[in-house]
Each structure stands twice: as C-alpha cells, then as structure tokens.
Amino acid sequence: MPYLNHQILLDSHADGLPEVSNFIPAKQTINHCDADKVVIRNHYLSVDPAQKGWMSSAVNYASATLGEPMRALAVGQVVESNLEDYEVGEFVTGWFGWQEYAHVGTDKIRRKVDPDQAPIKYAVSIFGLNGLTAYIAMKDILAPEPGETLLISTAAGAVGSIAGQLARRWDCHVVGLTGSDQKAALCCNEYGYHAAVNYKSDDWLEQLRRACPNGIDKYFDMAGGWITDQAIHLMNHFGVHAQVGTAAVASWDPVPQAARRERVILLKELTQKGFIIFNHTDRYDEATTQLGNLLHSGELRFHEDIRDGLDSAPQALVALYQGTNLGKTLIRLIGEE
C-alpha cells in the first residue's frame, strides 16, 4: 500500500550553530516495499548535539546529506516487510531520519526493540547514543577510581546526566559544568552531583576551583572550546581528559584561534583521548545491560524534553544550543504519553 511520507530535509549546511532555516519540509509517496527492505512507521525521532557536526560542510566522522531527511536515529514499527528477519508489527531502531516513514534495508537498522522490556523511546535515549556514550567513554577512557575528582561538562544534558550518576555510583567526587543555575540545581538535586557550576557566571572558574579543592583527576568533556581552555589548568598531574564533544565551539570554519594547551598537557603529563561512539560497537551489549539494570532498579534518573510533531524537530535542535532544553530531546510522532 502507498504511504504518504512527510519529511524534514537538510537544505543547507550549518558551519555555525544550526538554524531553522537550514531545513525544509517535504513529502514523498512510498508506493511499495522493495525487495530486501522494510517500511517503518517512526514513533520517536532523536535530536542530538552531534547533529550540528553532521550538518557542517567541514570533514567529520559522519555527515548529513543535503536534500535528504536529516540524519537521525529513530524508533518505529515495521508496517511492511520484505526482510526475512523482520516481521510486521515488530519495533526497531536505526538511522531512519527525520521523517514519518523510513523505507530501508538492514544497513540502516541497528536492532529490534522489545516494548515489553521498556518504553520504546528509551531505544533512542538511555539505550541509544546518549546512554552508550556516557557508559563506554566513562568506563573505557576515564576508568574512574573511588575518591577521584571527576568533572563533567554539559552536565545536565542527556549524556552528562547519565555520566554523572555513573561516576557517583563509582564513589567519585563528581562536579558538573552547565549553562544555568536551574540546570546546576538539577545536577545536584536529581543526578547526585556533589557540586555544579554555571559557566555563565562571572566567577565560574573560581567556583569550580572551590568545588574541586583537590584538583581534577578526570574530565568528561563535551564542551571543549573556551570552557576547557580554562578548566584544564585545574587538572592534576597525570590527569585524563576525554574529549566526547565540542558544544562550546560554534564553528570550525575558520578554525578558531584560542589559548594553547600544550604547555599544560606537557607539564602535567595529561592524557587526552577522543571518543566517537560508532567505533565501539563491541561494547554496546555490556553498556545496554548495565544501564538497563540501573534503570529497572530505580537507580538511574533522567529527564526528557519531548516535542510533538515532525515540524518541531528543527527548532528542537536549535534549542539544544540555546540551552533551553532540559534532558534528552525527542520528537514524538506517535507513541506513549
């Protein structure tokens, strides 16, 4: 049967912060399901900070394609199938993009989703890029030890909020950097941070110094930029810095000029390592199991910022960089309340 598919297409690159004008609405008709493909009715679409990088014209580890639905993870239900391993009615998650229907093969499908185990939206939040990034980067790069001081930037976000709770469970002194007093309070009251600092405060660096009286041993960094240029001076000898994101850098074209960090890295013998979640697929199962155990035992909290309707997706992405969201941003097309 034909499916009228509304889409949000990437219309122009964003070499600075994303804007609503980078996208255009479109529609197509999927007339039939091709061989070796399925048709999926999307229920939830993911909105992630990484999409800014995918929209850029600069070379990146992944890119969105002009004229195509915006690259995004989604979760939905199979409504037609010509794939032996996927039956009509099953739920799946994968790279289905900002659209109501996805006509895809196995290369775009990540895995099946069991709605009896957890709400399907968790497949693109706590069991998606956000939770996986928090667990694997924390465990494999930082490997925090009890008693260490661990700093997390964008601490109240979908990744940071989970990373902070994990570090607290591993008996670290956990300090967050975030963009508002409201989010700093959320870190401490909901996510178990020992302290959180609003980096927009005039004296934020001094506040951070007081919150880390013994210096910083490990840094889970999703901001980079001018924030890390200053925070790195508080790191201890042999500290470890995981570069997980660069939210504080508006554009890489032209390459931003800033203070050099090499002297600090040299004198303190710091270890720095980048992290891209797509290169750690062998760790997904352990991370999903551990996060699921914490979730079902009630030991893991997280907030969701759910917007309704496909047309709300572009503004939802813009809001991430305005700092007006609280928690994981999802676009609900159809799904649970």
Q: What is the pLDDT of residue 18?
A: 92
CA distances from 53 to 17, 67, 82 (A): 9, 17, 34
Residues in the chain: 337
Structure tokens at 238: 């042999």
Instruction: Name 235's bridge partners.
Output: 216
From first to last of its 337 residues, the chain has per-residue pLDDT tens of 799 999 999 999 988 889 999 999 999 999 999 999 999 999 999 999 889 889 988 777 788 999 999 999 999 999 999 999 999 999 999 999 999 999 999 999 999 999 998 999 999 999 999 999 999 999 999 999 999 999 999 999 999 999 999 999 999 999 999 999 999 999 999 999 999 999 999 999 999 999 999 999 999 999 999 999 999 999 999 999 999 998 888 777 777 887 889 999 999 999 999 999 999 999 999 999 999 999 999 999 988 999 999 999 999 999 988 878 888 999 999 965 4
What residues does each domain of the chain span? 3-124+303-332, 129-278
- The answer to whether the beta carbons of residues 234 and 250 sit under 8 Å apart is no
**Beta-carbon contacts of residue 124 (< 8 Å; ≥ 6 apart):** 44, 45, 46, 73, 74, 75, 93, 330
What's the CATH fold of domain 3-124+303-332?
Answer: Quinone Oxidoreductase; Chain A, domain 1 (3.90.180)
Q: What is the pLDDT of residue 337?
A: 47
Question: What's the rounded Cα separation, in Å, for the pair 202 and 126?
Answer: 33
**Beta-carbon contacts of residue 176 (< 8 Å; ≥ 6 apart):** 151, 152, 153, 155, 156, 160, 164, 184, 187, 191, 193, 195, 196, 197
Angle at 88 between CA 308 and CA 335, to 5 degrees: 15
Q: What is the pLDDT of residue 335?
A: 65
pTM of the model: 0.91
What's the CATH fold of domain 129-278?
Answer: Rossmann fold (3.40.50)
